[in-house]
Chains A and B, each alone.
Chain A
């Protein structure tokens, strides 16, 4: 199975400041069609997961453009340009290139 490693595990951020989440995979997530199958989810306190970004950089419907995804191969990044209080939660990356899909351990975003 592909192992997904996220860092940091905890990320305290002041509102209005940017935030950056790192995700690394044990194998390349590049498929033969040229796409890197890496998705990002957020799980806000007491809620179910919500899709933020699919295929490295495609924002899901309704996701603010403060959120952006980038990367290729084995290194990926989720960025929030200006953190808001409502962004608190645990952010997970998930590889979807190979079965079984596997999640990172999550990065907890906290507001300072």
Chain B
């Protein structure tokens, strides 16, 4: 079964840090571009970050650039999002999403169930 499972969400104070993890199974993670997409409570979807298959091409939304770092460990089939200097407005469900085939840069045909990050004092 093709699957992405996120973990690491928590309640954190403003200014704090958190690392999200996403474990892939059932498909060839090594060859896939991956993304993080978030959804604030009651709101729509917002793209956060992307990484290509070998980690050599990375992109961020302006709202998180300089604070968040995306990375991957292909040997462990894992995607990560290191989040620093967290703000209240970073509160959201964070989804790991990717393309199971090498189609185009933002092709996302597999999504995890999400992990919740709450930034509050």
User: B95 to A103, Cβ gap below 8 A?
Assistant: no
0/1 per residue, B70-102, Cβ < 8 Å to A? 000000000000000000000000010100000
Binds B, one of A17-25, A47-55, A64-72, A73-81: A47-55
Assembled-state Cα–Cα distance A47/B45 (Å): 13
**Cβ-based interface call for A85 (8 A):** no
Interface of A, helix, strand, loop or mixed by DSSP: loop
**Chain B residues whose C-beta falls within 8 Å of the C-beta of A55 in the assembled complex:** 104
Contacts of A92 in B (CB 8 A): 44-45
Output the least CB separation between A7 and chain B (Å): 14
Which B residues are CB-close (under 8 A) to A89? none
Q: Are A101 and B106 in contact (CB under 8 A)?
A: yes
- A39 contacts across to B, CB distance below 8 A: 106-108
Q: Is the CB of A100 within 8 A of B95?
A: no
Q: How far is the CB of B70 from chain A (nearest CB, A)?
A: 13
Q: Does B44 lie within 8 Å of A105, measured CB to CB?
A: yes
Residues of B with C-beta under 8 A to A50 = 111
Smallest CB separation, B121 vs chain A (Å)? 29
A103 with B107: in contact, given A48-B112, A48-B113, A49-B95 (CB under 8 Å)? Answer: no
Please give the distance in Å from B27's CB to the nearest CB on chain A: 12
A25 shortest CB reach to chain B, Å: 14
* A99 located at the interface, meaning its Cβ lies under 8 Å from any Cβ of chain B in the complex: yes
Report yes or no: B104 in contact with A49, Cβ–Cβ below 8 A. Answer: no
Is there an interface contact between B45 and A96, defined as CB atoms closer than 8 Å? no
Measured in the bound complex, the distance between the Cα atoms of B35 and A39 in whole Å is 15
Identify A54's interface contact among B37, B62, B103, B105, CB under 8 A. Answer: B103
Q: Quote the shortest CB–CB distance from A63 to chain B (angstroms).
A: 10
Residues of the A chain whose Cβ atoms lie less than 8 Å from the Cβ of B106 = 37, 39, 94, 96, 101
- 5 inter-chain pairs at a CB distance below 8 angstroms, sorted by A residue, are A43-B45, A55-B104, A96-B105, A96-B106, A102-B47
